[in-house]
Structure 1
């Protein structure tokens, strides 16, 4: 049965002009032409030709890759960009760590629609639409079809960049067991996998059922175990060395603390409790006093998965049948990073982090006895209350490493009825309903309760025995209410000085619970209406209803920002959409001079969202074959993306923007045009001008700007216009090339009304000198603040708005051949993408921010070459993945007056191999080697754009782990 499935896939790929599968093309027996449905169209037709670029990966490709999850294989396809979330770039994520997403054309995961058997799948990230590929068992997949270009008219919102349609196996009979184990040559990144797939079917395959169970475990990779990331480092601009790497570059937040004196100097402690000068990186031969965070960080997060999947069909009669699909995935992910670095400004925010070294208790001055004399005698009153204050930073090692343990469960069930009916002609129909839910329960550690920490820092010796315990030497908390609630004084001076009792008082375990729910209902019909001289006109029409809901709720301390981290208020939102769609395919000419075949197709969709209202999408396409071996194809499409729940409903989250330039600075009582008039209209600004002669800012004013990022319920949909033009050459009439296929496709995608967070500087320019529509997001300090900071910027909020635009343009080339070579059979395939251009603009009229060729987005050239040779029971396959040279972000380089594409990294090429051996027809042994030549990832260190924290490279695009091998045994029973 497996051979029949593979043969069917080959037929589809050859006729469709897509990329040939390596493993699948080993079967070349021609099957009778079938009526099938291809991704990008709902019309089932002979040949399943697609006017849009379509690439296909089959189950044999997946098996030959040894991939544990589908993302590992898809990332080798050059049409895909760097994923926003993967196992190697999500260790610092506050949620959704270890999720595996895909990103077509580098346009964002939210613009790539992932389908399962042509239907939507529930998202794996709260508030978004990105599907977690971890939950799709690779051994259950028959093929994956990659449609690049707008497809919203066929599939609805989010298909602006294209569609990844995962097709599961059907009509499978028997039992397949697969056991695999492996690790890196550094003895980490361990991999264990066991899967069992069972299926049964009646003789004509009208009744069938398949069940799959899988377990996989992928181990951690720690930063300290790779030379490139074992020591904290940073990159700084140097005129002669460009971006010079400083290594080590330890953190100044150390476990023993750092304490600042009135003269600006600071000191710390050694392991014996002695006070020593502070020396972060050990200059001039001194012992380093800083902290190496890389000792604790992770490159790859450990991930455990349990997967259960099932599908089946039950015939009601010879024309109608019931089908179902079920998926359940349980994923366990653990993140780990260094202990929390605490600065006293996070406890005493209002007065710049100054901690009282002495306090008035009952009108009597009391000194905190934990504060050493050296510090006590060298600090001053900094907040005007007449009492001495000090400032400190400290790594909270006693609290332990930070991190989280996340339990993520995904459930989905789809069922429906499909079949045929006669209405003058035979028509196909399908109706379905589906329900899916992803839940994540996360527990975290390593944070502190800010309020309790403040109470614990304000302590004094109980000489008056206020506790009435006959102990006048103990140190107690100054606040009586805090004492009644269990306050324990805390000693932050030195290594391990925080007592277990104080630790329990200030410790703040965290939690996060998220849920994503998706409900679907839909139906469609397709068939032929009447015949033309060139063939029958095919049509399809249908409806869909979808409801999406998402929630994310952290613990109370995290919500309020009282655990020394960013405040994460709860997010909740939902929407629904009703849609109608139609499609037509018209054969215009056939078997005419210079027109072997000419077809026209069109599709349209009309939707009504509960959020953005009505939306429209359409596409038109055509295929022209001047001769049998050549097919020219083209499409033009308008696609839409409705805003997701986060973009609509994210509550205000505080941030502290940098590099803000106040357009009112320097404005005087007169002049300045429209900008001057708008500035003087603010009472605080005018008070400042009257006091200083011109609007004047202090350093504190410039560094004291805050603001809130929030969603926007008044958003509109994005609109993407895409054009693709391509040629398919299948020289079947040339004997030596009868199994050769070549495709070349040009793509051009432009997205308008892109959803972006409004740049704060843009809001300021709009308010002061523009049309003033954005003044409502700006808050200035009042005139009562006094001349020093009256009128200075206090808050600049940023909403998600439809102000941006995005574009990308390039060419895809593919070539494939299969045939006999010597005693065996060779399959060869090449896929190459040249990215000519890609850019974003955040606001109308703003300069383009070009990203094509940049490290954070995508190099201009990416390619993969696959070779597979089969000789009797022995097979060998190899995959070469090439990532072209890439450059640092041009906006970053501009800060140093460096031109675009002046600083970057060279190309990287990775080679994977797999050897298989079949014995007794039922058993297959396989051995694989990934990154066989141990190609090192380029150094993109801390301080450079594209750096993944803990990896010292762009870990989503390059391999930070190194050479890995695996062994496996597959049995077909």
Structure 2
């Protein structure tokens, strides 16, 4: 079928579906709760247990069952906690027809997208959540209230591992969960709750495709469950399969051509074809394939087309759980989970990325181009052991051309700082293979008539093997030292001479086969955990209350172990061409023994102005073998002056210890983004070009550049170009001396359920989270602005930030070989400070339409007032405000305002219609001036960003879905995501950080697929 015909048919189908308004029901069960499972349905009039209603939503729980609402381990369902919980019901999972848990949580207002399936360059193959924008390492992901083995040494859970088929609901708790779940739950927890008593057979199938015919996925899950022994036991087993196909940058107009965020023009990589060199203290020179000589740069390489907007995922998963009541006093239970997944990344072809290589004057391919050979002899260095550039005379060049043996007195080698893309080889492919399993077993029962006990142990392992095919610098060097075109000087390893001196196609498949290799990296983690707890109530109430005092207390043990290592090749810095950072070995372990207790105390009930007054408090002590004892506590309460209104507040203090990566990661050289190097070009004093606007003249900036590593001979020659592909080197790693960071969380809010507006509920919650002594590292812009900007008013090279600049001592650049260019030093420390403030608002309303059906609305929104970061507690250190801003330091984007509104029309004949409206507020480039001092520099210079890329308008997406219950056992669902085919903003490739600014946009924040269609069928027996 022709693409145009396919598009036409899909558009027609979309129009028909939109006109018919046949869409699914069951949306978010927002923080404003509802006892009924419909989306946006408010609780019944005079509902007393707001949070109980949230837990019961979309479940088969009977009123007498004890339910645990995420955020407390107290099992009395009648006690109302003092912190908000957002709930995503089973219906919303069915409605969205997602392929992963991350996709389900992606548009949750208030959270910032993290690494996911749309991140290609800079991703790790896993998907994470970043609650409140405080970092994916500061929240927890739980399965039935228990931790999941992390997928990396940062202690993060891969959301691709979550078995969606059995998920009953998802609780998102952001009110300070450290006391209940551990101090690393700084910004909250996401708890995936599975069905407790599933019985029968459930077959769920789905598929989807974009309007442009790519990005296809299929998914399937089969679940069996049964009750036995008079319902005293239950066993369930669920297996699933997901396969998602890629979407290439080349398949979308906006991402096809790499574009500079500085100029708005196409920006190719300096590593291109034909060959370029960086030698001789002059600007880049490039081989002219017509003349055969080096001349001005004529072409660069478009790195975009082969990259991926959607990375392919293949996943197999099995999840099982069982329980059996031996008596009224004892129930045993167990759960098991296994997931195997594969994620594939693409990158532009490998090459020689400014590496130093030695080429003999007698090179066999140079002999085919004698004018080029003579030109190189008079341009580049022939003796690196002597300072300066030692060129050869014509006589020396001729003699060296005839010397084919390294032992010959006339033999000479030329040192080339070369750039040559091996486009003949196709993309660099990196494959991530994950294997994860976890087992939990325990027993529980009543301790007294009002208290229950629970004891369980668990163990899990995660293994990730990364394989990548690229070029090897050592093999390239060996092949370039050949003095003929057929055999190498050393022939013991099937060496084939390499021709980098010709046009595209000059490198043959035989040559590629020798210089290529597949390298491997391994990451293994395991988690051992055990817990013993009691929960329930004390069996008595205070004199002015009717509900008893609820308590929970327990002991917990956790032990983490993890290691990461590369094979012999990838562990050597600079050995793998274009690999970014070397895979240096790291290993570590730590354990913690913890005790916690919490209580919910109803003080006054059913009194004038005190329909309910409840106090909530708790504490946790954690004894880490590495950092000693840490203390966490919470105190809060709720007050209902009347039944229609509840006011709640909570304060939590937590101490988060460093994870394995923060402690033990070796110092490695990696890539980051920088659009403009302050020392590039002529370093003139033309208006708007100086990084420090207060510099008296270009001489001051030149002197600062020399003092920070630019050779004096290069200053003013224009020999330092802009960073290649907008990327520079950075050095970063762990710090074993890190101490725990302190997080303080305060929330206050209200729940309104007016009796005079039946079926309506509104919640408003304010939050303030401060992280002191935060484990952070300075950003690229912190260092660049602190050294070359207003943060260095005296232009001193001894400025703290200037000491963190480590340039290539030969070229003065911040990009180049890892072994010679350390770049910017991004050291971890406890000197950081993080803060976020905002308001969450939810509103639910339902209106019965009589014989016509029912109309319901579910609104969930967030307004972030502040999201600030400071790396170093110095008056000259910038305090960054990133709310609504983007840059290499503010990434990904934290919108000021985000919300979703789902409107659902439920017909009485089994048809449900739902429209979801998602909103992201406008954003703009991070301001140049910092909020703590207008004289300090935070964001990039306005002159370094193309005007059109300095702002992004507000974005609105609409998703249209339908669900039809054909029979009691069969349900069909059809969803059109991004109904209006809204294209993502175009801001170029270098305005943000590498991982989050790709394809000329921000693929984590905005829809990069376009209009797409999803269809599913569910069979229940």
| Alpha-carbon distance in structure 1 between the residues aligned to 2:73 and 2:884 | 36
Q: Which residue in 2 is equivalent to 1:867?
A: 903
2:639 equivalent to 1:621: no
Q: Which residue in 2 is equivalent to 1:133?
A: 159
How much has 1:605 moved relative to structure 2?
0.3
CA contact (8 A) 1:611 1:713 kept: no
* Structure with greater contact order relative to length (CA < 8 Å, sep ≥ 6): 2
CA contact (8 A) 1:429 1:523 kept: yes
| Alpha-carbon distance in structure 1 between the residues aligned to 2:506 and 2:822 | 38
How much has 1:484 moved relative to structure 2?
3.5
Distance 1:153 1:769, change over 3 A: farther
| Alpha-carbon distance in structure 1 between the residues aligned to 2:836 and 2:943 | 26
Distance 1:334 1:159, change over 3 A: same
CA-atom RMSD in angstroms: 3.8
Distance 1:745 1:303, change over 3 A: same
2:375 equivalent to 1:378: yes
Choose from 87, 109, 121 the match for 2:136. Answer: 109
Q: Which residue in 1 is equivalent to 2:200?
A: 174
CA contact (8 A) 1:150 1:720 kept: no
| Alpha-carbon distance in structure 2 between the residues aligned to 1:749 and 1:511 | 40
How much has 1:50 moved relative to structure 2?
2.2
| Alpha-carbon distance in structure 2 between the residues aligned to 1:951 and 1:906 | 18
| Alpha-carbon distance in structure 2 between the residues aligned to 1:120 and 1:916 | 34
Q: Which residue in 1 is equivalent to 2:646?
A: 631
2:488 equivalent to 1:477: yes
How much has 1:843 moved relative to structure 2?
0.9
| Alpha-carbon distance in structure 2 between the residues aligned to 1:694 and 1:798 | 16
| Alpha-carbon distance in structure 2 between the residues aligned to 1:771 and 1:232 | 37
Distance 1:888 1:699, change over 3 A: farther
- Write the mapping of 1:553-632 to structure 2, written as runs, cut at 5 A: 553-561=565-573, 562-564=575-577, 565=579, 566-632=581-647
How much has 1:278 moved relative to structure 2?
6.8
Choose from 958, 963, 967 the match for 2:1011. Answer: 963
Q: Which residue in 1 is equivalent to 2:463?
A: 439
- Write the mapping of 1:674-693 to structure 2, written as runs, cut at 5 A: none
How much has 1:25 moved relative to structure 2?
6.8
Distance 1:415 1:376, change over 3 A: same
Structure 1 portions without partners, runs of 5+: 237-243, 282-288, 349-354, 360-365, 462-473, 663-688, 783-791
Local SS of the residue matching 2:264? strand
Local SS of the residue matching 1:452? helix
Give the paired residue count.
875
Choose from 269, 276, 288 the match for 1:251. Answer: 269
Q: Which residue in 1 is equivalent to 2:223?
A: 197
Distance 1:582 1:775, change over 3 A: farther
| Alpha-carbon distance in structure 2 between the residues aligned to 1:901 and 1:716 | 44
Distance 1:86 1:371, change over 3 A: farther
How much has 1:476 moved relative to structure 2?
4.0
Distance 1:624 1:898, change over 3 A: farther
CA contact (8 A) 2:918 2:958 kept: yes
Distance 1:189 1:797, change over 3 A: closer
Distance 1:21 1:370, change over 3 A: farther
Choose from 70, 87, 90 the match for 2:117. Answer: 87
Local SS of the residue matching 1:920? coil
| Alpha-carbon distance in structure 2 between the residues aligned to 1:828 and 1:264 | 62
Q: Which residue in 2 is equivalent to 1:757?
A: 777
| Alpha-carbon distance in structure 1 between the residues aligned to 2:498 and 2:532 | 65
| Alpha-carbon distance in structure 2 between the residues aligned to 1:522 and 1:754 | 29
Choose from 103, 106, 113 the match for 1:72. Answer: 103
CA contact (8 A) 1:229 1:951 kept: yes
CA contact (8 A) 1:258 1:278 kept: no
Q: Which residue in 2 is equivalent to 1:740?
A: 760
| Alpha-carbon distance in structure 2 between the residues aligned to 1:526 and 1:165 | 19
Distance 1:538 1:295, change over 3 A: closer
Local SS of the residue matching 2:250? helix
Local SS of the residue matching 2:185? coil
| Alpha-carbon distance in structure 2 between the residues aligned to 1:753 and 1:613 | 16
Distance 1:325 1:256, change over 3 A: same
After superposing the two structures, state which structure 1 stretch, 533-542 or 751-760, moved more: 751-760
Q: Which residue in 1 is equivalent to 2:361?
A: 358
Choose from 861, 874, 883 the match for 1:832. Answer: 861
How much has 1:377 moved relative to structure 2?
2.6
- Write the mapping of 1:214-613 to structure 2, written as runs, cut at 5 A: 214-236=240-262, 244-246=263-265, 248-258=266-276, 266-268=285-287, 275=292, 289-343=299-353, 345-348=354-357, 355-358=358-361, 369-370=366-367, 372-379=369-376, 380=378, 382-383=380-381, 385=383, 387=392, 389=414, 392-422=418-448, 425-445=449-469, 447-461=470-484, 475-478=486-489, 482-492=490-500, 493-529=502-538, 530-533=540-543, 534=545, 535-561=547-573, 562-564=575-577, 565=579, 566-613=581-628
Local SS of the residue matching 1:477? coil
CA contact (8 A) 2:351 2:471 kept: no
Distance 1:280 1:821, change over 3 A: farther
CA contact (8 A) 1:51 1:633 kept: yes
Distance 1:654 1:793, change over 3 A: closer
Local SS of the residue matching 1:648? helix
Distance 1:371 1:174, change over 3 A: same
Distance 1:209 1:491, change over 3 A: same
| Alpha-carbon distance in structure 2 between the residues aligned to 1:76 and 1:578 | 36
After superposing the two structures, state which structure 1 stretch, 66-75 or 103-112, moved more: 66-75
| Alpha-carbon distance in structure 1 between the residues aligned to 2:948 and 2:600 | 45
Distance 1:697 1:399, change over 3 A: closer
After superposing the two structures, state which structure 1 stretch, 379-388 or 857-866, moved more: 379-388
How much has 1:417 moved relative to structure 2?
0.5
TM-score by length of structure 2 reads 0.79
CA contact (8 A) 2:76 2:537 kept: no
